[in-house]
Amino acid sequence: MSDQLTIRRPDDWHLHLRDGAMLQGVLPETTRHFARAIIMPNLVPPVVTLADARAYHGRIMAALPPGAEFEPLMTLYLTENTDPGDVAAAHASGLVKAVKLYPAGATTNSASGVSNLDAVRPVLERMAEIGLPLCVHGEVTDPSVDIFDREAVFIDRVLDPLRRAVPGLRVVMEHITTADGVEYARSGGDDLGATITTHHLMINRNHMLVGGIRPHYYCLPVVKRARHQRALRAAATSGEARFFLGTDSAPHNDPAKESACGCAGVFSATNTMSCLAYVFEEEGALERLEAFASLNGPAFYGLPPNEARITMTRGQPVDYPAKIETGAGPVTVFDPGHPLLWAVSDAPV
Ligand code: NCD
Ligand code: ZN
């Protein structure tokens, strides 16, 4: 087995960068390895209009580490007041690559999300016409639905009817966490994609809950049982074009995570590539890491893959910090619970 792997530079198709001091602190963790990322719009207040996206894009560019080559791919946060004309202008500008649907109340900073899908139908129809993808946080918020079932119920109650109601709409099922999500993604044509996070490939709910509760493993959608983790691993390592990397790296400072009511979000930007190489090696699929991390995402979004390459080398356990210090406080890096052996040994910047 070779101990070196050279692949096209990866992209992250689901990333939270936040703003201000947190943005400044976490951005280098992504730009070190990744060329582009779909930037989630769930700021407070959210990134709703083209004007908001332009301003946020400017703040990200201003926060880039010197010499970094990184393109933030902006998204708009869909609300019941979103103007289809503004969405079309955002698409035409080239700056905005997707619109994000958060069911109201489903996750961190989703209070301005959508409660009534009929209210956003004109926006979705316009998006289908112009080919702008909808990124979907796929969980129902019905309090009577068990949190471990919210993804599967969302697919039946919301996602499938929505896709039938707006034919031609390009949809990304964001951060799928279940065998049900995998199965539904496979039922679609090339208008349906699905992102998978690094941590959902590495942990299941036992890792989070057995022997003590581990707040740094808590995210939404919450990690599920091992059978679902296995389905996600099979999907990610299959090479199928519909599955691609979206880390959902979502920084919260340690006090916000280590709390009686801790925030949802796993911060994995720092060691994601090492984690993925570990998983793909374990699954005997290292030769398909490039498809998952560097090829399938751009193909779905109609963008060329990156020309630059990164090289990963297998050797001594990779040295990475347990936490990073930011101006917004310390942020704990995802700990897979065992050493990682693949390091990014050469990246363009
Ligand atoms: C995300 C966040 O913190 O913004 N949290 C998470 O657990 N994934 C929101 C999200 O993507 O659901
Ligand atoms: Zn997210």
**Ordered structural domains, the chain, with CATH:** 4-344 (3.20.20.140)
Asked if 256 and 285 touch (Cβ cutoff 8 Å), the reply is: no
pLDDT at 348 over 80: no
Amino acid of residue 342: W
Give buried/exposed letters for 75-100 (b at 16+ CB in 10 A, else e): bbbbbeebbbebbbebbeeeebbbbb
Q: Which of 123, 122, 108, 93 lies closest to 44 in space, CA to CA?
A: 108
Give 310's strand partners: 7
Residue percentage of the chain with pLDDT more than 90:
96
pTM for the model: 0.98
Region 281-294: mean pLDDT is 98
Confidence of residue 106 (pLDDT cuts 50, 70, 90): confident
Question: pLDDT category, 349, cuts 50, 70, 90?
Answer: low
Pick the atom of ligand 1 nearest to 264's CA.
Answer: 7
Q: Given ligand 1 and candidates 75, 220, 267, which is best to mutate, with the most ligand atoms within 8 Å of its CB?
A: 220
The β-bridge relationship of strands 342-346 and 309-314 is: antiparallel
Residue nearest to atom 11 of ligand 1 (CA): 248
Question: Which residues are CB-neighbours of 114 under 8 A, at least 6 positions away?
Answer: 78, 79, 80, 101, 102, 103, 104, 120
Residue-wise DSSP of 149-190: GHHHHHIIIIIHHHHHHSTT--EEETT--SHHHHHHHHHS-T
How many A from CA of 266 to the centre of ligand 1? 8
151, two tokens? 């993804």
pLDDT of 335 above 80: yes
pLDDT of residue 1: 58
**pLDDT above 80 for 4:** yes
Mean pLDDT of 91-106: 96
Q: Tell me phi and psi for residue 148, to 5 degrees.
A: -75, -10
Q: Any idea which residues carry the catalytic annotation?
A: 248
Q: Which residue has the tokens 């703003």?
A: 19
Task: Report every protein residue that has its C-beta within 5 angstroms of ion ligand 2.
Answer: 248
Mean predicted lDDT score pLDDT of the chain: 97
pLDDT tens by residue, 42-62: 999 999 999 999 999 999 999
Q: Which residues are registered as beta bridge partners of 344?
A: 312
Distance CA 104, CA 116 (A): 9
% of the chain residues with pLDDT over 70: 99
Give the pLDDT mean for 344-349.
81
Q: Which residues have CB under 6 Å of ligand 1?
A: 16, 42, 107-109, 137, 219-220, 248, 250, 264-265
pLDDT for residue 258 is more than 90: yes
Is 103 strand, coil or helix? strand
Q: Would the pLDDT of 301 be above 70?
A: yes
146, pLDDT greater than 80: yes
8 A C-beta contact, residue 169 and residue 146: no
What pLDDT shows up at residue 329?
98
Q: What is the largest CA-CA distance in the chain?
A: 55
The encoded tokens of residue 102 equal: 């958060």
For 143, phi then psi, to 5°, come to -60, -20
Other Cβ atoms closer than 10 A to 55: 11
- Give the three-class secondary structure for 33: coil
* Distance between CA atoms of residues 68 and 49, nearest Å: 27
User: What gap in Å lies between CA 22 and CA 17, rounded to an integer?
Assistant: 7
Determine the residue type at 45. Answer: P
For residue range 181-229, list pLDDT tens digits in order: 999 999 999 999 999 999 999 999 999 999 999 999 999 999 999 999 9
State the Cα–Cα distance between residues 128 and 154, nearest whole angstrom: 21
Q: Is the pLDDT of residue 261 over 80?
A: yes
pLDDT, one tens digit per residue, over 13-39 is 999 999 999 999 999 999 999 999 999
> Residues 188, 194: contact at Cβ < 8 Å?
no
